[in-house]
Structure 1
Amino acid sequence: MEPTEIDQYSQDMKNRLRRIEGQIRGVLKMMEEEKQCKDVITQLSAARSAIDRSIGYIVAKNLETCIRESNVNGEPTDELIQQAVQMIVKSR
């Protein structure tokens, strides 16, 4: 399942990952400052949740593009949908 568009990752997707990168840097800073374990875990959980949402967003956008291309070419989309489901399940 690979779109043929040259820029398959939108600026929004990249911005999401940059925010996650900032969250992780913040967690490292918290650890260096000896913040409480509970607070570090809370921030790590937030970062993990953001990563999970990013995975879903990327898979959904990719699937949307691939289905549009398949429809234009008169190709079936069942396999594309199955691949997307497998990617989401695998990421969990």
Structure 2
Amino acid sequence: MTVVDEEASRAVLNRLRRAQGQLAAVIAMVEAGRDCKDVVTQLAAVSRALDRAGFKIIASGMRQCLSETAPDAAPLSEAELEKLFLSLA
């Protein structure tokens, strides 16, 4: 059984590719001796992107799990689950 559906998988991959590009930029900034504040700001953006990708995977898996185990209950949407997880971070 796949934990992440196709739509969520595309969103996760997009976020990870964005994070990969941001991380490459951070590496280049460090190599170029850029200002510490700029480097830390970009590094924080990479961290957030990775966190959001992870939460997207968790939210998608939980949504599928909830919809399979409680067929008569209205399952939370993926966006609702993701928002819930992000509020705890």
Scaled to the shorter chain, the TM-score interval is: 0.5 to 0.7
Percent identity reads 36
Deviations 1:8-32 (A, max 9, x none): 4611111110110110000001111
- Larger RCO, structure (CA 8 Å, separation 6 or more): 1
Rg comparison, structure with higher value: 1
Aligned to 1:41: 40
Deviations 1:14-56 (A, max 9, x none): 1110110110000001111111111101100111112222222
State the aligned residue count.
74
Normalising by the residue count of structure 2, what TM-score does the alignment of the two structures yield?
0.68
- Unpaired runs of 5+ residues, structure 2, are 73-84
| AA aligned opposite 1:51 | L
Q: Distance in 2 between matches of 1:17 and 1:47?
A: 9
Normalising by the residue count of structure 1, what TM-score does the alignment of the two structures yield?
0.66
Contact 2:3 2:61 in 1 (8 A): no
Match status 1:70 vs 2:63: no
Q: Following superposition, which runs of at least 4 residues in structure 1 exceed 4 angstroms of deviation? A: 6-9
- Unpaired runs of 5+ residues, structure 1, are 75-87
